[in-house]
Chain A
């Protein structure tokens, strides 16, 4: 049954109304800051830089007064996946090319060789995954669905002038976000129900048609359920007079204050720092000590 647990990754925390300085920022600043920092972490591959990035994310979590246990729950759900990723990366990393490039070999058994560069890259990959998941947890902890829809819409609004449906697209994103845990729960229920009837999803043998047919008991109800829920939601929204973005007025008007500009500038500065920092010499020193 352990295979049914993989999607706890999807429920990456939930909103925590801690009233911290981060919670009080403009939602656009909250989203944009997380995006620029996440982008910087995605691009970098150096171990030391990613470690600094992880420290920075932990600092932000502390600043947002998010309990460490809450933040680590998302990481804990990631552990099985992390194991699979590590194994695959260890197998597929171009170790021989790294050896040619001057990295010492850590372990050798016949034709199979593990290079120090490969291990360092793996650890960096883990650090990046953990940092990104923690960053995502931070975002969901300091911004609820309403904040996010305001943020996405506010950021896309400049494009509305050229006919871009900013409000609609923001709504699609938020609905997808809202449907994810809901559908994940339904999927878990469907899988258990089908497993109780002896279903086996995609494991058995057979030609492609048979393999695909084996997913029917799961996929068809999942689609139909999502569509039915969507239709109910659409009817409910229309019944409450929802009429789209045009001519819409807002209860909360977003206005950037000095603190918001300051926070945004700090986030951009930190992201630029993460992008420009070159700690490659540390990695070389690590290789030397390993070799």
Chain B
């Protein structure tokens, strides 16, 4: 895993944006009923789309470390207690970039997409397996719904990817799908981790039905926001890049 200079620097710059959005609370867009949706995970998606999964992972790590530390320095609500656990605030965020990249490649490169499609379907199958195979979930209908919802979302994503690939959509569609995948990864893994650790008794337990509710009320607007912003940013950046094509020296590094 060799990182180029460009990848290192872009990971640092986008990581700084994630932290900036969180610290200034600009990364939270007020939505109905006092719910604020977050866009802090978007730098990880943008980094994954532009520079690959490792850059996305590093930005996710910075985002996670910040959200972990911030839960101690400036807790703003009862929910922040959960983010004082690194398994909830850091680990799920590591997956945002890699999953977004996977989705991006799925749509972007038709020839390799069969393999990636297989991977995503495998993931969905694994999720269904967990939903019905895990003993702690066996007697809990709500929990099973959450896991099944995640599995179905992934399967739908795979189908959407396949459809878009066949229709030969371009960069924009791939970026949009990456934003959906990255955002769902964040929402589902963070809430899933809270539920899992709660059922294990490591943190104060939260009913799975509440988590499902939060997932729906926050997850859906967050997906919408992430798609709009990620596509806008990537489109703006790629245009600038296209415009500067002739003057770029380090093509090989890009």
Contacts and interface: CB of A to CB of B under 8 A. Distances in A.
Interface stretch (A26-34, A152-160, A224-232): A224-232
Interface residues of B, number: 53
Contact of B19 (A169, A171, A176, A218): A176
A129 B1 contact: no
A48 interface: no
A212 B233 contact: no
Contact of B24 (A6, A129, A171, A211): A6
Contact of B77 (A92, A163, A176): A92
Interface stretch (A14-22, A54-62, A64-72, A179-187): A179-187
A224 B233 contact: yes
Given A132-B73, A212-B224, A226 B14 contact: yes
B8 A171 contact: yes
In this complex, the member of B13, B30, B73, B221 whose beta carbon has the largest number of chain A beta carbons within 10 angstroms is B13
B230 to A, nearest CB: 9
A208 B226 CA distance: 11
A259 interface: no
Interface in A233-249: 233-235, 237-238, 242, 244
Contact of A9 (B23, B29, B31, B84): B23
B160 interface: no
A288 interface: no
B74 interface: yes
Contact of B11 (A84, A172, A209): A172
**B interface, over-half SS:** helix
A172 B30 contact: no
B20 A230 contact: no
B20 A180 contact: yes
Interface in A205-224: 208-209, 211-213, 215-216, 218-220, 222-224
Interface residues of A, number: 63
Interface in B12-51: 12-17, 19-20, 23-26, 29-31, 37, 39, 43, 46, 50
A232 to B, nearest CB: 9
B240 interface: yes
A287 interface: no
B39 to A, nearest CB: 7
A213 B228 contact: yes
21 contacts: A132-B73, A163-B1, A165-B2, A169-B58, A172-B62, A176-B19, A184-B24, A187-B24, A202-B29, A202-B30, A213-B228, A215-B26, A215-B29, A219-B39, A228-B240, A230-B9, A234-B5, A234-B9, A238-B5, A238-B250, A242-B5
Given A7-B24, A10-B20, 4 more contacts: A7-B23, A177-B16, A178-B12, A230-B9
Interface of A: 6-7, 9-10, 42, 78, 81, 84-85, 88-89, 92, 125, 128-129, 132-133, 163, 165, 168-169, 171-180, 183-184, 187, 201-203, 208-209, 211-213, 215-216, 218-220, 222-224, 226-231, 233-235, 237-238, 242, 244
